[in-house]
Every structure is written in C-alpha cells, then in structure tokens.
Structure 1
Amino acid sequence: MFERVVGHSLGAVVTLKVLIISSHRTNCGIAAYSEVLKTLLETRFEVTIAPLDQTILKRTEPHVVTAGDQQIRAICDSFEKYDVVNLQWEPGLLGGRDLDMARRFEMIIDAADRLVLTVHTAVPYPEGRGPIDFARFVRNRGWRRAARFPFHQRFERLTYKAIEKRARSPRPFFVATHTQRERDFFKQVARVPHVFDHPLCHLRARWPSQLEKEGPAVREELGKRFPGKNTFIGVFGFLSEYKGIMTAIKAMRHLGPEYQLLIYGGVHPETIKPKASIDPYIKQILEEIERGESGTRGNPKANSDLLGRISFLGAPRADYDFALAVKAVDICLFPYLEVGQSGSGPASHAIELGKPTILTRTRAFVELEKYFPAQFEMIDVGNYIELAQTIGKLSQTKNTRPQPGYNSETLANFYGDLFSRCAGAQGGHQSLTNPEPITLRAAE
C-alpha cells in the first residue's frame, strides 16, 4: 500500500522512520511537495508515503464513505512502525464533505504518537459571530452552498477542538506552516506551543543546475515558434477563476505586439463534469480573448491581433517539465485572487529560480515577501493597467534576480531538524520548552 525509500547518512543506515500522509502521484501541488520532501530527506531518514486515495475519500455515498474511513484507519494502524508521522494537511484531501474531513482528521491526530502537522490551508477559526461568519462562508463558497453553513461551522469547531486537545496532550506535537502569519495564528489562537515556519519550496536539489543548462534551448524554441516576439510572459497551473488569468488577458491589450502570453495549464481533473461541452471558466477566458484589442466582440479584424498574442500550451506532464517552462519564459505572472491559500507552488518555482516575477497583493503573497524581500514585483488584485505597466518595466531588463535565501537545502534542514526533534522528544512539554530555533539557512 505504501512506498518506502531507505536512506543512508555517512555510510550508516538511518534508523529514524518517517511516515508522510499525503496525496501522491496525482495532479496536485501537495503531492508534488511531498515528493520533493521525500527526495530531499531520503539520504537522512527512512521515508514512507501513505497515499490518500482521492477516488475513494472524495466520494459521499454511504458505503464509499465507510471505505474511506477504513482507508484512514488502515493508515493509522501502521503508525506503530514509525518514529514520526507527518500529515500534509489540506482538509479537502480527507473527504468530500465537511464532517467527513473533520472525523478523519481527528482519527489521524489522535492515533499518531509523535506528530508533525504541515498546514497547507488553515481552516478558519470558529469565532461564533453568527451573521459575520455566515457572510464569510457565502463569500468563499457561494449562495448555492449556503444551506451547508451549519455543517461547516461544526466542521470548524470539531477541527480546532481536535487540534487543541492534541496540543494539551503530553505526546509530541509540532506544526509546520508556510507563513509567519499562520505560525502566529496557531501559536496564539489555536494555542499550539510548538509551531515553526518555512516558505514553500518546490525545486528538487539537482534541478537548478540542470535547468540552467536546458532553459536557454527551450527559450530559443519559443522564439522560433513565435517569430517577432521578444518577451514571453508565462502564467502557470490549473485554469480556475482564482488564478486571475482574465487580468493577464486584459493587460495584453495595453502591451505592444512584441509581447506573447503563454498559458501553461489546463482544467483540474477534479472539476471536469460529465457531458459538459466546455468548462465555464474556459468559456469566460475565450470570450474575453474574442473581445480582442478593442474589448468588443464580433469584429474579427480587430480581434485577430489579440488572438495571435495569447497561446494555450497545455499542462506540462512532469514536475521537471513544469519547472523548465518557468525557467524558459522571460516574466512569470501570478495574478491570483484572494482565496485564503497559504502559498503557491508555481510561484515558488519562479522565485527559487530567480525569475522576474509579478504577484498580486493577496495575504499569501504579502507573507511571502517577508521571506523573499525584493525578489518580485507586486500589484493590486485585478489591476490590469498596473500589471501592463509592471510587465513593461520588467521587460526592459529581464534580469534574473539573486538566488533567494530559502531553497530546497533550507527546506531539507527545516524538516530534518523538525522530524529529529519530534522523534527525540521525551513526552510532556518540559523537554520542549524554549527549543532552539529550527535550522533554516543552508550551510555557508
């Protein structure tokens, strides 16, 4: 059921055994992140990935929900074989309904003796504000799901009740977040004593040097495929509304013909609906493109220029190919809307590679700036005029930025230290009081 990787350190077999619970070998950013962790840590520990089977866990039919619970129970029964359990926590990976997610989450954190919880999306804390909480729910989920609000409230309460109960337990419990903001939230609001942070990093250790060699050839191929273009702008990832692709398309109307927008991505498999002739968001994108340079539809001559300056290149099939696409373009663009995410894998690729990068001022990207000051440009959400102006400014230089201070090596140090500390804790909070800072920086 699980995939095991045995590592060695300084010629001796490492006895520390780590179980990572995550989505695996699927089109999912968390699956990619877990694969990066496995690759980085396999020289230090014995690492096993317990895959969360989304084909079962997402279903809501009663007999399949039972099968999903059995899958989680089987994973929990294996915990005694490992020194540390790491749950890569995105609530939606544990179920298709709020209460299924909460129940399975509680099963895992109750069963793990020594637990490291990696938070990818923080569940809102239940503040009991009635109408304000309801308005937030409708804003995030839409009116069609308003009837689910009582269940969602219960989900929030059950989730944090489980977290706070585990935090009071004498068994070792550590939380890893991608932002300082979420670190402070889990310490101060959720009352977890031992919370540490490190930004998302998605590049594997040997990739940067390999990408440095192969990137120029791919950039040259883009020049041949799109003659007359000298600035290639890339947007990346699954095509969904929160990615803000409409902002990028509108910005192209305010840029010259030498700019080419390349869309690397496709519809997420989980959102494909039976018998649907076209994805609703794809339809919106195509309608916006057909408005052309003038912003009005129905004039093919006026629209032809914009149609020729926006290209759909599909989703790269392998993680390395994705990174290679990021490396090849001149400017990386992430015009996301605010949806409460704590990070972006594609944006991490761009920053780690030192690419000229533009991000919107979402909470996640504002937090990212604390780790990577002066590593990227920021614009307001939806401001396509500001975006066009920023692209024009960056295109004058196209300089690669200095390599950032956080990368795959610091991520390996972070989790290596975190897992070792969790495994070495004696139980109770006495041995964990005022711990030394988690190792972050790469060795000089």
Structure 2
Amino acid sequence: MAIVSSYSESCGNASFTKILHDTIRQYSGYEVEVVELDLPILQSIDTSIRAAATRHVDDLCRRLAQFDYVNIQLEAGLYGTLPGDIFQRLRKLMKANPNTSVTLHSPRIIPNPTAKRNAIKQLLSLRLKSALHSLMADYQAGIHTRLNSRLVRELARNGHTAIVHTERAKRQISTFFGYDNVYVHPLRLVQEGFQSSTATLDKVKANLNLEKGAVLIGMFGYISRNKGHFDALEALSQLPGNYKLAIFGRQHPQTIRSDGSKDDYLSALVQTVKNSRLLRGRVFFLGELSDDQFMQVASAVDVAWLPYYENGQDGSGIASITMDVCGRVLASASFAFDELMKLIPYNNVVRFDIGNDLELATKTQMIMSQAVPTKPFGDESTYNIRSQALAYVQASKARR
C-alpha cells in the first residue's frame, strides 16, 4: 500500500502520515510505503520549476501504478500554489491506480456567506474600503470551495473512496454530488499504551525558573492567524500573575519571507507581549517540539488552550493529540470541534465562544479548580488508532 503525502517535512500531514504508516503495518500486516511529495518543487510558481513538478508527478504516477492500494492525503497546498496546477496534478494521481482512497482534510464545498453579507452591509453604509476587503476575502474563500468541488467530482468520476473526518462532510458530499462512497474517521494520532511523563516539561520549567505555584498553560503548533494567539494574550492578561503561557511552536514555513523581513502576525504578537506590563515575563516562545516531545509536554501542562478560529479544516492533529493526552483543555466553539465532539465525547474539554477572551479566562480558572478527569479522556470505543488503520485498508479496497 502506498500513501501519497509529505513525510520528511515539518508539518501536520507528515506527522499524521508517519502514524498511518506505522499503524497500518502494525494492525493489518500490510507493507506500507510513503510516496513522498517534493514540496519545494510542487509549490513553486516559476515556469521552469513547474515543468519539473510535472515530471515529478508523472514519476509518482508510474510508481503508484505498481501498488495494490493507494491512499492520497489531500491537503491542497501540498500539491501546488496555483489552483489549476493543484487540480491537474491530483487528477493525474487519482488516475494512477484504480484502488485508491483520498483523504479530504479540508473539504470546503459550501461557500461561507459571512464575508459577502459584510460586504453588502458595508456598501450600504458607504464604507467602500471595508467592503472591498470583504469582497476580496469572499473571492479568496471561493477559490478553495471551487477547487474542492472539482476535486470531489474527479474523485467520484474515478469511483475512489473518500475519507473525511466528520459526518457533516460526508453529508455534504452526498447531498451536493450524490456520492456515498465515503468513510468517516476523526484524526487519531496517539498510539495505544502511551505513557505520559513530566520529564521534558520539568526541564523547561527549570530553565524558565518558574516560581512555585505557577500554572503553566500550553499552546501548540504553528504560529498562524487561525490559532487565536491574540485572544490567548488577552485572556492571560486577565488571569492572576502566577498563570504563565508557554507557546510551543514555530512560524509557519509558508510565511517565511525570502527578503529577510519579519512575518507581520508573529511580529505583532511579540510586540504585544513586549509592550504589555501585564504580560511581560509571563509569555514564553519555546519553539517547535518533536512529535514525541509534543505529546509528553501536552500531557504534562496544567491546562492547554485551543482558541482556534474557523479556517475550513475538519480535523486538527494538534487538537486531537491535546484532547487525548492533556487533563484540562479549553477549546473554542468552532464547527470542527463541534463535529469532533459528536464522534468522540471528551470529559476533559471545556468550550468557549471564538474570540471571547473573558470567557476563556473565566473558564480557565474554573477548570483549574476541578480535579483532572480519569483516563481515557475521550471515548475510544468506536474511533481509535486501530480502527483508523483498518478503515484506511478497507477504504482503499472499496472502489465503487
């Protein structure tokens, strides 16, 4: 069996692919090979390099034809920058082997009307500049939904199995495309028998010289706009001084500029901390962790924050791991988390409205006054690491 994905890169897809590779071999006995995407080539918009990307995809197709089964991890940005390139490359890959399943991590096929509604209100109020920004946001979001619709149609045309992370995504594909060859399985990344340890976090605490009685809040993953870092800073400023925020993560690679300038979001975040008397000495940027270190640290912090905004993704590996291993989790009321909770009820997660830093601060103090629930924190009776591996095997066989 082949899995088409990123693998050696630092990204969520690569981490998930490693888990898939290992667990499919463990639970099914299948031989599994990752057919790795060359991201620097695929994501370039230079004409000559795009030609090299075409040759790269053609080579991948020849390799995929030799396997019994294929799974394609579909996060559009892995396959290119321009929508036309992404579609043509994935179209080729889908045709390479008849026994193929496609994992849709961000299956946005219904446009969000919010930006368009805002634009209409702003136009009626003669706020032309704001209206233009809203219309541009609506146009950019429409690019993703149109591309996803084309890809789902292509998947259905080839009779391949779709794998999605929510029942909502399955319903939408059935409703809008009349296609029912869809498997649902939420992201699972924590191996059976995982043993938490405080050793890694103890070293971090010692190096930070935290006072006795400090409450350490953890945030994890790439430092990007949808993660809600500014809401976290606002919430922290309302909490007692012994509450500290540790940000374990790095700047997203796609925001690194070649001209040597700083990323605007990260720069604003750092300046906010520097300029705030209430935050100074309480916020720590601690960089990226290995997958194993992340699980250990997430299991050992006093509380984890997931103040995510909507970005069209139906699954988050960071969130899934955090909910599975951390005893106290605050998660925003995003649609993605709503859908996850329907499949896997958690006893350690408290929800709050997106952007409501007052609620986040209040509920953090509330959850800290309560005992940590018993493990497992999530109901593993239906969806677990083993069922995920077997679902991928079954899905690749379930050609329509």
- Decide which of 370, 381, 384 is 1:410's aligned counterpart: 384
- Decide which of 34, 50, 54 is 2:35's aligned counterpart: 50
Report the Cα distance in structure 1 between the residues aligned to 2:382 and 2:294, rounded to whole angstroms: 17
Residue 244 of structure 1 aligns with an amino acid whose one-letter code is G
Contact 1:115–1:174 under 8 Å retained in 2? yes
Alignment of 1:387-406 (within 5 A): 387-403=360-376, 404-406=378-380
Residue 373 of structure 1 aligns with an amino acid whose one-letter code is P
State the aligned residue count. Answer: 384
TM-score normalised to structure 1 length: 0.79
* Unaligned residue ranges in structure 1 (runs of 5+): 1-17, 168-172, 293-302, 430-444
Contact 1:352–1:407 under 8 Å retained in 2? no
Report the Cα distance in structure 2 between the residues aligned to 1:401 and 1:182, rounded to whole angstroms: 31
Q: Residue 412 of structure 1: SS of its match in structure 2?
A: helix
2:91 is equivalent to residue 118 of structure 1? no
Residue 386 of structure 1 aligns with an amino acid whose one-letter code is E
- Give CA-to-partner distance per residue, 1:185-232, whole Å, 9 cap, x none: 2222232222121111122345x12x2xx2266347526721134311
Partner of 2:125: none
Task: Name the CA shift for 1:380/1:70 in 2 (closer, same or farther; >3 Å).
Answer: same
Report the Cα distance in structure 2 between the residues aligned to 1:55 and 1:97, rounded to whole angstroms: 14
TM-score normalised to structure 2 length: 0.87
Alignment of 1:242-391 (within 5 A): 242-292=226-276, 303=277, 305-316=278-289, 318-375=290-347, 376-391=349-364
Q: CA RMSD in A?
A: 3.0
Deviation at 1:288, TM superposition (A): 2.2
Q: Residue 373 of structure 1: SS of its match in structure 2?
A: coil
Alignment of 1:162-177 (within 5 A): 162-167=154-159, 173-177=160-164
Partner of 1:85: 70
Percent identity reads 24
* Unaligned residue ranges in structure 2 (runs of 5+): 121-129
Contact 1:125–1:156 under 8 Å retained in 2? no
Partner of 1:435: none
Residue 62 of structure 1 aligns with an amino acid whose one-letter code is T
Contact 2:305–2:330 under 8 Å retained in 1? yes
Q: Residue 307 of structure 1: SS of its match in structure 2?
A: coil
Deviation at 1:408, TM superposition (A): 11
Residue 106 of structure 1 aligns with an amino acid whose one-letter code is R
Task: Name the CA shift for 1:161/1:135 in 2 (closer, same or farther; >3 Å).
Answer: farther
- Decide which of 37, 41, 44 is 2:20's aligned counterpart: 37
Report the Cα distance in structure 2 between the residues aligned to 1:402 and 1:232, rounded to whole angstroms: 21
Report the Cα distance in structure 1 between the residues aligned to 2:312 and 2:330, rounded to whole angstroms: 19
Partner of 1:419: 393
Partner of 1:197: 184
Deviation at 1:278, TM superposition (A): 2.2
Residue 191 of structure 2 aligns with an amino acid whose one-letter code is R
Report the Cα distance in structure 2 between the residues aligned to 1:225 and 1:386, rounded to whole angstroms: 29
Deviation at 1:110, TM superposition (A): 2.1
Q: Which has the higher contact order (CA 8 A, sep 6+)?
A: 2
Q: Residue 78 of structure 1: SS of its match in structure 2?
A: helix
- Give CA-to-partner distance per residue, 1:130-151, whole Å, 9 cap, x none: x959979x99x97678887897
Contact 1:356–1:398 under 8 Å retained in 2? no
Q: Residue 158 of structure 2: SS of its match in structure 1?
A: helix
- Give CA-to-partner distance per residue, 1:240-263, whole Å, 9 cap, x none: 111100001001111111111111
Residue 287 of structure 1 aligns with an amino acid whose one-letter code is Q
Contact 2:166–2:314 under 8 Å retained in 1? yes
Deviation at 1:354, TM superposition (A): 4.5
Partner of 2:124: none
Report the Cα distance in structure 1 between the residues aligned to 2:117 and 2:391, rounded to whole angstroms: 38
Partner of 2:59: 74
Contact 1:238–1:265 under 8 Å retained in 2? yes
Report the Cα distance in structure 2 between the residues aligned to 1:233 and 1:413, rounded to whole angstroms: 32
Report the Cα distance in structure 2 between the residues aligned to 1:133 and 1:53, rounded to whole angstroms: 39
Report the Cα distance in structure 2 between the residues aligned to 1:198 and 1:31, rounded to whole angstroms: 18
- Give CA-to-partner distance per residue, 1:355-391, whole Å, 9 cap, x none: 2111111110111111232431111111000000011
- Between structure 1 and structure 2, the one with the greater Rg is 1
Residue 379 of structure 2 aligns with an amino acid whose one-letter code is G
The range that moved more, 61-70 or 153-162, is: 153-162
Report the Cα distance in structure 1 between the residues aligned to 2:141 and 2:176, rounded to whole angstroms: 22
- Give CA-to-partner distance per residue, 1:166-188, whole Å, 9 cap, x none: 24xxxxx2111111111222222
Contact 2:104–2:163 under 8 Å retained in 1? yes
Partner of 2:201: 218
- Give CA-to-partner distance per residue, 1:15-70, whole Å, 9 cap, x none: xxx10000111111011001001111123210010011111000111221121121
Report the Cα distance in structure 1 between the residues aligned to 2:141 and 2:182, rounded to whole angstroms: 30
Deviation at 1:101, TM superposition (A): 0.6
